[in-house]
Amino acid sequence: MPGHARHDTALIHGLSATEVQTLSEACIEAKSKAYCPYSNFHVGCAVLLSGGAVVTGANVENAAYPVGTCAERVTIATAVCQNGAKAGDFRAIAVATDISPPASPCGMCRQFIREFCDPSTPILMYDKEGKYTVMTLEQLLPMSFGPDKLLSTEELAKGASK
Ligand code: THU
């Protein structure tokens, strides 16, 4: 199917076949944890951290619709709070939904991911059959605005400008 990468494609993003397999199982399993009574659109996410840990999450909706949170942001926030993950610690992000072709992270999530991930970070997107498409963050969010664009706290204290 066009747009569906073969399973060994992610190797060029620095992931082993085993890591891809682990990510795929983790994000597909995480889909079952979604709290999505309003959309019934289940999204699971898994991130691979540089120490080898895999952290998962799912979308969590709310009766006040805009308050709901996407799986990607739930997962990254969990990795930050539970695993102490920092910018640069994320080797890959995997997202699973029940549609084909697979869903890609929403615009807000792409920006949220950008805070913690290098533009070269692979984002694996799984469809309802467990097949994936992989793209880098840079491909999904070109010319992105990241933390490097802002002054550091030291520069701010000195009243410097970029
Ligand atoms: N959703 C995600 O969790 N991730 C995405 O990348 C796209 C959308 C969720 C939000 C909401 O709970 C449901 O999917 C329908 O938009």
Domains located in the chain, CATH noted? 17-160 (3.40.140.10)
Best mutation site among 70, 104, 126, 133 for ligand 1 pocket (most ligand atoms within 8 Å of CB):
70
Q: Pick out the chain residues at pLDDT < 50.
A: 1-2
Residue 9: its pLDDT value, please? 55
Phi/psi of residue 76, nearest 5 degrees: -65, -40
Q: What is the DSSP string of 94-154?
A: EEE-SSSSPP---HHHHHHHHHHS-TT-EEEEE-TTS-EEEEEHHHHSTT---GGGSPPHH
Residue 153: its pLDDT value, please? 86
Neighbours of 17 (CB within 10 A): 11
Best mutation site among 59, 108, 133, 137 for ligand 1 pocket (most ligand atoms within 8 Å of CB):
59
For residue range 21-58, list pLDDT tens digits in order.
999 999 999 999 999 999 999 999 999 999 999 999 99
Closest listed residue to residue 78, CA positions, set 105, 116, 128:
116
b vs e for 116-130, b when ≥16 Cβ sit within 10 Å of the residue's Cβ? bbeeebbbbbbbeee
Cα separation, 14 vs 42, in Å, equals 28
Residue 4: its pLDDT value, please? 56
Residue 21: its pLDDT value, please? 96
Question: How far apart are the two ends of the chain, measured CA to CA in Å?
Answer: 46
Its pTM stands at: 0.91
Pocket lined around ligand 1, Cβ cut-off 6 Å: 36, 39, 41, 43, 59, 61, 68, 70-72, 103, 105-106, 109
Q: What distance lies between CA 159 and its chain's CA centroid? A: 35
Residue 5: its pLDDT value, please? 52
Residue 160: its pLDDT value, please? 73
